[in-house]
Structure 1
Amino acid sequence: MRLRHIEIFNAILSAGTVSGAARLLSLTQPAVSRTLQHAEIQLGLTLFHRSKGRLVPTPEALALKPHIESLFLQLDEVQRLAGNLKAGQAGQELRILAVLTLSHVVIPRAILLMRKKHPDVAVRVMAVHSSELISGLALQEADVGLLLSPLSHPALINEPVAEGELVCVARTSLWPAKLKRRRSASLQDLAGLPVIALDGNDPLGRDLMQVCRENDVQLRSSVTVQTYHAALGFAHHGAGVAIVDSFTALSADPKTVTVLPLRPHIPVGLHALRPASKPLPPLARHFLSCVREVLSSP
Structure 2
Amino acid sequence: MINARQLEVLSTVIEVGTTARAAQLLNVSQPAISNMIRHTEDAIGFPLFKREHGRLIPTKEALHIAQEAQHLFMQQKRIDNMIGELKGGTVGRLSIVATPSIGHSILPRVLGLFMQTRPKLKLSIELGSIDEITRRLGSGRTDLGLSITPPRLSAVHVREIGDGHLMCICPPDHELALMERVSVTDLNHVAHISYAARTPLGQTIDNIFSDQGLERRFFCEVRHTATALEMVRNGLGVALVDSFALIGHQTTSIAIRPTKPALPIKMHGITSKLFPTSNIAMQFQSFLSDYLKQEGAKAVT
For the aligned pair, the TM-score class normalised by the smaller chain equals 0.5 to 0.7
What SS is found at the alignment partner of 1:190? helix
2:120 corresponds to = 120
1:158 corresponds to = 158
CA contact (8 A) 1:162 1:269 kept: yes
What SS is found at the alignment partner of 1:173? coil
Pick the aligned partner of 1:238 from 232, 235, 241.
235
Pairwise CA distance, 1:250: 2.9
Pick the aligned partner of 2:268 from 264, 267, 271.
271
Pick the aligned partner of 1:206 from 203, 207, 219.
203
Root-mean-square deviation over aligned CA pairs: 1.9
Pairwise CA distance, 1:218: 4.2
Pairwise CA distance, 1:177: 5.6
Write out per-residue CA displacement over residues 169-203 of structure 1, whole angstroms, 9 at most, x where no aligned residue. Answer: 11111134641xx2x21124333211101111111
Unaligned runs of 5+ residues in structure 2 are 1-90
Unaligned runs of 5+ residues in structure 1 are 1-90
Does residue 171 (structure 1) correspond to residue 171 (structure 2)? The answer is yes
Name the CA distance, whole Å, in 1 between partners of 2:164 and 2:190: 24
Q: 255-264 or 105-114, which moves further after superposition?
A: 105-114
Letter in 1 for 2:117: K
Name the CA distance, whole Å, in 2 between partners of 1:271 and 1:229: 18
Write out per-residue CA displacement over residues 82-132 of structure 1, whole angstroms, 9 at most, x where no aligned residue. Answer: xxxxxxxxx920111111121122111221221233221111111112221
2:288 corresponds to = 291
Letter in 2 for 1:108: P
Rg larger in structure:
2
CA contact (8 A) 1:169 1:257 kept: yes
CA contact (8 A) 2:188 2:218 kept: no
Letter in 1 for 2:225: Y
Pick the aligned partner of 1:257 from 254, 257, 264.
254
Name the CA distance, whole Å, in 2 between partners of 1:165 and 1:94: 28
Does residue 109 (structure 1) correspond to residue 106 (structure 2)? The answer is no
Pairwise CA distance, 1:254: 1.7
Structure 1 pair 230–197 and aligned structure 2 pair: CA distance change class (3 A): same
Q: How does 1:1-298 map to 2 (within 5 A)?
A: 92-176=92-176, 178-179=178-179, 182=180, 184-250=181-247, 253-296=250-293, 297=295, 298=298
What SS is found at the alignment partner of 1:120? coil
Pairwise CA distance, 1:292: 1.7
CA contact (8 A) 2:92 2:120 kept: no
Structure 1 pair 222–125 and aligned structure 2 pair: CA distance change class (3 A): same
Name the CA distance, whole Å, in 2 between partners of 1:251 and 1:112: 12
TM superposition score normalised by structure 2: 0.64
TM superposition score normalised by structure 1: 0.64
Name the CA distance, whole Å, in 2 between partners of 1:245 and 1:215: 22
Letter in 1 for 2:119: P
1:40 corresponds to = none
Structure 1 pair 216–276 and aligned structure 2 pair: CA distance change class (3 A): same
Structure 1 pair 218–268 and aligned structure 2 pair: CA distance change class (3 A): same
CA contact (8 A) 1:195 1:223 kept: yes
CA contact (8 A) 1:193 1:220 kept: no
Pairwise CA distance, 1:288: 1.1
Name the CA distance, whole Å, in 1 between partners of 2:248 and 2:239: 13
Name the CA distance, whole Å, in 2 between partners of 1:251 and 1:206: 27
Name the CA distance, whole Å, in 1 between partners of 2:92 and 2:110: 18
Pairwise CA distance, 1:251: 6.3
Name the CA distance, whole Å, in 2 between partners of 1:197 and 1:162: 24
Structure 1 pair 241–252 and aligned structure 2 pair: CA distance change class (3 A): farther
Name the CA distance, whole Å, in 2 between partners of 1:249 and 1:175: 21
Q: 114-123 or 160-169, which moves further after superposition?
A: 114-123
Name the CA distance, whole Å, in 1 between partners of 2:185 and 2:128: 34
Name the CA distance, whole Å, in 1 between partners of 2:101 and 2:222: 13
